[in-house]
Structure 1
Amino acid sequence: MTVPAVRAARPVRTAGPAGGAPGRRRSGKGGRGGRRGGRWGVHAFLLAVSLAFLAPLLLAVYASLRPYEETARDGYFSLPSRLSFDYYRQAFTDSGMGRYFLNTLLIAVPGVLITLFLASFTAFAVARLRLRGSLLLLMFFTAGNLLPQQVIVTPLYVLFTKVPLPYWLSDSLTLYDSLWAVLAVQVAFQLGFCVFVLANFMRTLPREILEAAVVDGAGVWRRYRHVTLPLCRPALAALGTLQFTWMYNDFLWGLVFLSDGDKLPVTSALNNLRGQFFTDYNLLAAGSVIVALPTIVVFLLLQRHFIAGLTLGANKG
């Protein structure tokens, strides 16, 4: 007795929607119109945010080109009768802004170089050398970035007044009222961020390159100087650009640690344009524009490094 073969049941086709293929999703003008409308909305929002950030700078430029008598009479949002650069010449020459620019460079340029050297060597030790407590050390540097600067103003002020320096380094014979104080604070506060970023970047480098250097007999210094640093040039360029901008724009530390007005950086020296009984805010606006110009030029020339710095070290190795 034979068992009859069982035929496989054929799938039953169900009728799709009328006038269209079964299971096919419609993509008509409604979907494209919605996406286009959303894109226009995002662009409008970004344009509004950009204008909100640019409005103070544009208002400062507009006010700096007008006489104070005119803005005092008609307001800052009125139409001008004439525009001139007289306030720019007065702000640069009368306030001695060239000397303050030199003070800023004496702080920012060595500060960037010292910070990048110390941060790169520390990051190399944390990321590439198998040291005990390297993760704890990285967490320590990262936690330092969370400390508000204003918290330690008073302890640092007392400390710097008690740290002696020779006369050829500081005419006050202490660390207080010297550019060394501002330089030391800038390096200390920026070091943690640079170590964190460079350590994450170095972890993404191929391990085989350092292993080959070890096989060739390279020591720690050669592996750091001749192997790791050349590979970190993009990261160092991005960090250097960001660090210079941050140190240049700093306003707090110059006012706290420098009592001699001739030693102030250019951002803190803007306060010298204010009078005791009267302040010409158009003159102050011209000085602010002059101070902001170098950072704007640096951004326009090195904006690729700025953009790279936003995501630096974010890749997971």
Structure 2
Amino acid sequence: MTSAVAARPAQHAKAATGAPRDRRRVRPARLGLHTFLMVVSLAFLAPLLLAVYASLRPYQETAKYGYFSLPRHLSFDYYQQAFTEGEMSKYFVNSLIIAVPALLLTLFFASFVAFSVSRIQLRGRVFLLVMFTAGNLLPQQVIVTPLYALFNRIPLPYWMSDSMTMYDSYWAVIAVQVAFQTGFCVFVLANFMRTLPMEIIEAAIVDGAGVWTQYWRITLPLCRPALAALATLQFTWMYNDFLWALVFMSSGDKLPITSALNNLRGQFFTDYNLLAAGSVIVALPTILVFMILQRQFIAGLTLGANKG
């Protein structure tokens, strides 16, 4: 009897010491998942890494030994050449003139509409949300010709457009970006706002808060992670877009940074290592934005993950 009682604490102690070992044991399924994620990550990073590697090597070297050969000489000469020959400083400003106002307008309109359909009792709010979301399903190429004809007929004062119309102006590209991206942002923000406690709005109404106060001072600060995630995605899409600027702008001096890569292509010969350096320079602002908003972006992606 005494030996059985004495054996129980030993068994409990062994179980207690064995439990952490079981937790630390790597399960095959988890190991396979991590391996899969690493392979996918490397597959996505491979083109960028190859572009960086090629931009540091002379074209004559890669033409002789191939792009996957060991380097004989590495330098940053192509980056300086791409920045000067491509006139990238001017095109960077053009891209910011388009992307920054379009981003701010998109987030403002989308957050206000999302607040209306998720926090205010409106008739047909579900139908309104569906209509905003369905707008993203329309192929952009379908309405290129109608918009081209429309913008040529919308007059603008000279201080807003050199052509005296909406065509060949930044306003045309900004308007299209806002119109196409607002629907997606409304869908994301409306779903997030539904997870916020309704008691906060009810308490604000009891204190006499109006609709604008409920939106601007109460709801919007709680949506910072979602807004940061959307800002990162939207800036990347608007910054990298080239279709709308190519269609609605005829002046080369107004084109965005993506058009600067065409200046690096020769008529009879193209130095692809120089083009790779220009591509890396063009991608730097989006990488910088992601690094600045990385924490908020990750928090925005995981919103609602632990909600029942």
The TM-score with structure 2 as length reference comes to 0.87
Give the deviation of 1:314 after TM superposition: 7.2
Q: 1:208 to 1:105 in 2, by over 3 A?
A: same
Q: Which amino acid aligns with 2:149?
A: V
User: CA 1:309 to 1:209, structure 2 compared with 1: closer, same or farther past 3 Å?
Assistant: closer
Match of 1:95 among 50, 69, 86: 86
Structure 2 distance, partners of 1:314, 1:166, is 49
**Residue 120 of structure 1 aligns to a residue in which SS?**
helix
Aligned to 2:232: 241
Partner deviation per Cα, 1:213-244 (whole Å, 9 max, x = no partner) = 22222221122222222222222222222222
What does residue 4 of structure 2 align with?
A: none
| Matching residue of 1:149 | 140
What is aligned with 1:286?
277
For the pair shown, which has the larger CA radius of gyration, 1 or 2? 1
- The answer to whether the Cα contact below 8 Å between 1:242 and 1:309 also exists between their aligned partners in 2 is no
Aligned-partner residue type, residue 129 of structure 2 = L
What is aligned with 2:217? 226
Aligned counterparts of 2:196 and 2:27: Cα–Cα separation in 1: 41
Q: Aligned residue for 2:242?
A: 251
TM-fit CA distance, 1:305: 2.4
Partner deviation per Cα, 1:280-302 (whole Å, 9 max, x = no partner): 11111000000111212222232
Counterparts of 1:236 and 1:66, CA distance in 2: 40
Alignment match, 1:138? 129
- The superposition leaves residues 170-229 of structure 1 with CA deviations (integer Å, 9 ceiling, x where unpaired) of 111111111111111111111001111111111112212211222222221122222222
C-alpha spacing 1:249/1:80, structure 2 compared with 1 (3 Å): same
Alpha-carbon contact 2:85-2:264 (below 8 Å) kept: no
Match of 1:116 in 2: 107
State the Cα distance separating 1:247 from its structure 2 match.
1.3
**As a proportion of its length, which structure holds more helix?**
2
C-alpha RMSD of the superposition: 2.3
Structure 2 residue runs of 5 or longer lacking an equivalent are 1-21
Aligned residues: 288
Cross-structure match for 1:187: 178
CA distance in 2, matches of 1:316, 1:126: 21
Does structure 1 residue 216 correspond to structure 2 residue 207?
A: yes
Measured in 2, the distance between the counterparts of 1:211 and 1:40 equals 48
Task: Report Cα offsets for 1:245-273 as digits up to 9, x if no partner.
Answer: 22112222222222211111112322221
2:189 to 174, 181, 198: 198
* 2:251 maps to amino acid: D
Contact 1:198-1:313 at 8 Å conserved across structures: no
Equivalent residue letter for 1:274: R
Structure 1 pair 277/312, CA: closer, same or farther in 2 (3 Å)?
farther
Per the alignment, residue 274 of structure 1 pairs with 265
Structure 2 counterpart of 1:28 = none
Distance in structure 2 (CA, Å) of the matches to 1:123 and 1:46: 34
The 2-side partners of 1:243 and 1:151 are apart by: 22
Q: Distance in 2 between matches of 1:54 and 1:223?
A: 43
- Unaligned 5+ segments in structure 1 are 1-30
Q: Alpha-carbon deviation of 1:315?
A: 7.7
Residues 203 and 316 of structure 1: is their aligned pair in 2 closer, same or farther, counting only changes over 3 Å?
farther
* Letter matched to residue 254 of structure 2: K
Q: Pick the aligned partner of 2:292 from 295, 298, 301.
A: 301
Range with bigger deviation, 51-60 or 272-281: 272-281
Q: Secondary structure at the match of 1:229?
A: helix
Give the aligned residue type for 1:97.
Answer: M
Shift of 1:61: 0.7
**Percent pairwise identity:** 77
- Rounded Cα–Cα distance in structure 2 between residues aligned with 1:315 and 1:101: 40
Q: C-alpha separation between the residues in 1 aligned to 2:47 and 2:166?
A: 37
* Partners of 1:151 and 1:311 in 2: CA distance: 34
Residue type at the aligned position of 1:117: F
Distance 1:123 1:80 in 2: 53
Is the partner of 1:256 in helix, strand or coil?
A: helix
Do the aligned residues in 2 keep the contact of 1:160 with 1:175 (CA within 8 Å)?
A: yes
Distance 1:128 1:188 in 2: 23
Q: Which amino acid aligns with 2:277?
A: A
Matching residue of 1:166: 157
| d(CA) in 2 for partners of 1:46, 1:109 | 33
